[in-house]
Amino acid sequence: MIAPQLVLGWNDWLSLFVHYLMLSLMSIGGAISTSADMQRYLVEDKGWLSGAQFSDSIALAQAAPGPNVLFVALLGWHVGLNTGSLGAAFAGVALTMVGIMLPSTIFTYQAAQWAYRNRDLRAVRAFKQGMAPVVIGMLLATSWLLASAGPAKSNWPLWLLAALSCLVIWRTRLHLLWMLGAGAMLGAFGLV
């Protein structure tokens, strides 16, 4: 899939920023759990990223050190690059990262103390426990969309690799880096 060539106006940048501000407050379970929505917004609705750019961004951020939320920076980076300007790429990083982090950190900073003091309240426990299944559904949906993106669609070895790594990481304490390395090797030698 070829990267789209974009011309973005101020209102486009603004809507990108506002979308991430909104996702920030919904990213219970981590930023990765909202990535199914980012894929819908950036790739399917707006056409600002190709499907391959989207999954590459997540794969790169997973392979790199640091918190997983950095995949958001890479999405912003690629949206900016698709306009053909390096400055826009940095603007994309700033808008998406500030957007995904600012509302949630302000909210969490204020709420953490309150939630700790009131952790025995029925409402606090109901919120924690009631959100759990939905968060799990969000994570599984993200995984599904990543696995079915781009070239993987009709490629059974890739599905097998995804399923096997899921099983290994779920059931063992093997360092994630070994699995990512194995995936990279298998891909580099054309085996998947």
Partner 1 sequence: MSTTPPPAPPAASPDCAGAQALAGPRPRSLTDLFVSFTVLALQGFGGVLPVVQREIVERKRWLTQEEFVEDWAVAQIMPGPNVINLAMMIGARWFGLAGAMTAVAGMIAVPLVVVLLLAAAHARFADHPAVAGALRGMAAVSAGLIAAAGLKLSSALATNPMKLPLAAGLASVGFVLLAWVRVPLVWVLPVLGGLGCALAWRGLRP
**How far is residue 47 from each of residues 43, 95, 152, measured CA to CA in Å?**
5, 18, 20
Pick from 5, 9, 10, 122: which binds partner 1 (CB under 8 A)?
122
The answer to whether 115 contacts partner 1 (rule: CB under 8 A) is: yes
Please state the closest distance from residue 45 (CB atom) to partner 1, in A: 9
The CB-of-82 to partner 1 minimum distance in angstroms stands at: 12
98 near partner 1, judged by CB under 8 A: no
Site string for partner 1, 35-54 (x = CB under 8 A): -xx--xx--x----------
Q: Is 14 in the site for partner 1 (CB under 8 A)?
A: no
Q: Shortest distance, CB of residue 121 to partner 1, whole angstroms? A: 10
Give the SS3 label for residue 136.
Answer: helix
Token pair listed for 129: 């426990």
The H or E element spanning position 191 is: none
Using an 8 Å Cβ cutoff, are 23 and 38 in contact? yes
Site string for partner 1, 162-191 (x = CB under 8 A): xxxxxxxxx----xxx-xx-xxxxxxxxx-
How far apart are the C-alpha atoms of 38 and 71, rounded to whole Å? 11
Identify residues 142-161 at the interface with partner 1 (CB under 8 A).
142-147, 149, 151-152, 158-159, 161
Q: Which residues of 64-78 are buried (b: 16+ CB within 10 A; e: fewer)?
A: eeeeebbbbbbbbbb
10 versus 190: smaller Cβ distance to partner 1: 190
